[in-house]
Structure 1
Amino acid sequence: MAFLCRSAAMLLKPCSRAPAAMSALSAARLYSSGGQYEYILVDKRGEKNNVGFIQLNRPKALNALCDGLMTELGRALDSFEADADVGAIVITGSDRAFAAGADIKEMQNRTFQECYGGNFLAHWNRVSTVRKPVIAAVNGFALGGGCELAMMCDIIYAGEKAQFGQPEILLGTIPGAGGTQRLTRAVGKSLAMEMVLTGDKVNAHEAKQSGLVSKVYPVDQLVSEAVKCGEKIAANSKLVSSMAKEAVNAAFELTLAEGNRLEKRLFHSTFATDDRKEGMTAFVEKRKADFQDN
């Protein structure tokens, strides 16, 4: 959860109004009824506008994750969760940084009592509780909290210059938003332990080889490819997609026997949906299914 990019450390400023967005996204719609966002850009993408799109927007701080940004991210996710048209969500940053970590200046003087009593960083977990599939499109630095944020997503696509790391040890602390837990489950104990204990980074191709990311793309193609993936997911039954996501996530929590039982119950549950009937009927009739999400 730490910000640790030495070359940009002097650029990091406390949370304040973000500068104007890059021109390609300057006209992004203000999506939530909650009004304008300061630290993120929110839009809908895809030919059918069925992919929620969130871009972290603190460029001078390499998208360091301050409390205000994470609160706004939760609001945007809530809006997309409630939008019946949205079937998947993409979270991205800039070409230079997905998110270079948490805002250290914001947490530097916190006390143990404040952290423990206030359950510091608890609301950061909102990304992992969204029922709709979430895709991280990672370009540049994904360090500390940025790496943790990416790992909270269901799928990670990386630009070929992406770098992942948990460098909190170099600041005299440890990951606090799931880094030690999700990284270990993704890449195994040895690599996770090495990254956490040394603060060393891995590049995009090493991350793919280790299982941390599923695909690597050229920097300028990454976001469009992530949106295409979101469109594929959104074309399926949103109800059944949530069931499938629940089943896969359970594999990290349950024994094999318990997981198989849950999977079977969720599989059986699909037979109570109109979408299951439509999907199988369309297959038999050799046509494209027309899912209605019920």
Structure 2
Amino acid sequence: MTTLILREGADRLHVELNRPDVRNAINDDMVDELHAVCTSLEREPRILILTGTSTPERGVFAAGADIRQLLERGRDEALAGINSGLFIRIARLPMPVIAAVDGFAIGGGAELAYAADIRIASTRAVFGNPETAIGILAAAGATWRLAELVGEPLAKEILFTGRRLDAEEALRCGLVASVHEPDQLAAAADTVADRIAGQDPLALRVSKRVLAAPRDAHPLVDELAQAILFESDAKTQLMTRFLNRSQETR
């Protein structure tokens, strides 16, 4: 890996975006390497924690796509969905994805964060989508994910005016789940991952798939998914353990 730093764990994978000289701008190499990460996590499902390069002085998640490469792209590259295809793949990973955002998450960097299941932020985090200021649109997920995350009125203001959200605004509108001091962000991400890791893996994977199902697929998809889980060994073991603990505390 030349653009990412990976740290492996038994139940999680930490991936740090690592192009600090260009504020972690997302280029073709990073896209390819993130696809390789997805291949690994699809084969061996684990929690993914995405972070950017940070120092005590400055944090950067990702300051957008690489403008030099965007300048050279034309119609065919746009239709190929280079970044949007990657972010959809990340959003569809079997296990939950956590984005720990320290500093700027702008343009494509914000859209990468939007693709995560859970976002947490440092006090110096900033989110924004200024694509229309450079003659393009936020085509890697912001035009639909952002409205789902923060509501259509605020999404329109961000996309049409270039408005940026600081950490507290992001917390108030529900874009992030929590805000932490920069030196505590990594530990906070691991705490979230610890809570996820304490759940049944199959129930997590099925819950994530059901959450992503279209509205008109419910409740049938819920019932079919529950039918699978009701037959799992984990369900029997975990419920029995719960009942035994309840008996012991009486």
Q: TM-score, normalised by structure 2?
A: 0.91
The letter for the 1-side match of 2:28 is D
Give CA-to-partner distance per residue, 1:222-281, whole Å, 9 cap, x none: 11111121122123221111011112222xx324xx322222221222111111111101
Alignment of 1:180-195 (within 5 A): 180-195=143-158
SS at match of 1:54: strand
SS at match of 1:121: helix
Structure 1 segments unaligned to the other structure (5+ residues): 1-36, 288-294
Give CA-to-partner distance per residue, 1:2-41, whole Å, 9 cap, x none: xxxxxxxxxxxxxxxxxxxxxxxxxxxxxxxxxxx00001
The separation in 2 between residues aligned to 1:73 and 1:193, in whole angstroms, is 29
The number of equivalent residue pairs is: 241
CA contact (8 A) 1:137 1:156 kept: yes
1:123 pairs with 80, 85, 92, which one?
85
SS at match of 1:131: coil
The letter for the 2-side match of 1:249 is A
Alignment of 1:108-147 (within 5 A): 108-116=71-79, 118-124=80-86, 125-147=88-110
Give CA-to-partner distance per residue, 1:86-140, whole Å, 9 cap, x none: 3x11011023211110001011022224433x44435322211211111110010
CA contact (8 A) 1:51 1:231 kept: no
For the aligned residue pairs, the C-alpha RMSD in angstroms reads 1.6
The separation in 2 between residues aligned to 1:219 and 1:70, in whole angstroms, is 26
Tell me the equivalent position of 2:23. 62
Q: CA deviation at 1:71?
A: 1.2
The separation in 2 between residues aligned to 1:219 and 1:275, in whole angstroms, is 38
The separation in 1 between residues aligned to 2:19 and 2:37, in whole angstroms, is 16
Tell me the equivalent position of 1:41. 5
Alignment of 1:184-223 (within 5 A): 184-223=147-186
| Pair 64,157 (structure 1): closer, same or farther in 2 beyond 3 Å | same
Q: TM-score, normalised by structure 1?
A: 0.78
Tell me the equivalent position of 2:122. 159
2:224 pairs with 265, 275, 282, which one?
265
The letter for the 2-side match of 1:42 is L
The separation in 2 between residues aligned to 1:50 and 1:120, in whole angstroms, is 29
The letter for the 2-side match of 1:61 is V
Structure 2 segments unaligned to the other structure (5+ residues): none
Tell me the equivalent position of 1:4. none
Bigger share in helix: 2
The separation in 2 between residues aligned to 1:106 and 1:198, in whole angstroms, is 24
The separation in 1 between residues aligned to 2:184 and 2:23, in whole angstroms, is 20
| Pair 211,81 (structure 1): closer, same or farther in 2 beyond 3 Å | same
SS at match of 2:218: helix
